[in-house]
Amino acid sequence: MSALAALLARLSSRGNLVRLPLLAAAGSCLASSAGVLLLSTSTSIVWIVVITVIFGITMGTTVTANQTTLYTQVASEQTGTAAGLFRTFGYGGSIASSALVAIAFHREVSDANLHTIALAMIAVSALGLIVVLADRKVMSQVRAG
């Protein structure tokens, strides 16, 4: 997952790509989240690896595209504030996901509880895809300045 993410981040940062990597991130996040919905205690390790690799696509395409978008849509005097808010919302997402895991697995770790988490992941991923598709300010390529 990490190797694929690093490779994809390098490729998308070379071309200053934004829209295509964000679409790939949203789509792969939705696909891998749906894959989690299919996991059970009897799932083959191969399927788990496939889902993990698809999450690597999400990681690799998100990292540079989001930062490129941030720096191209914010005035230079607001870059520090925007970068701080960017990280703050990232941490907020981490806190929310930890809370979801705690709620879902509060009584027991089970397939059904994992599927509850997967449904939340699918909902958030679908929302992310809708946001990327609806945002016409996100350009297909950023000109290096």
> Is 140 a domain residue?
no
Q: Is residue 43 part of a domain?
A: yes
Domain range for 109 is: 2-134
Q: Which tens digits make up the pLDDT trace of 45-91?
A: 999 999 999 999 999 999 888 888 888 888 889 999 999 999 999 99
What is the structure's pLDDT at 11?
85
pTM: 0.86
Structure tokens at 94: 């981490």
* pLDDT range class, residue 141, cuts 50, 70, 90: low
143 part of a folded domain:
no
Give the chain's domain count.
1
Task: Render 57-89 in DSSP notation, one character per residue.
Answer: HHHHHHHHHHHHHHHHHS-GGGHHHHHHHHHHH
At residue 91, the pLDDT reads 96
pLDDT at 144 over 60: no
pLDDT at 127 over 80: yes
In a domain, 142, yes or no: no
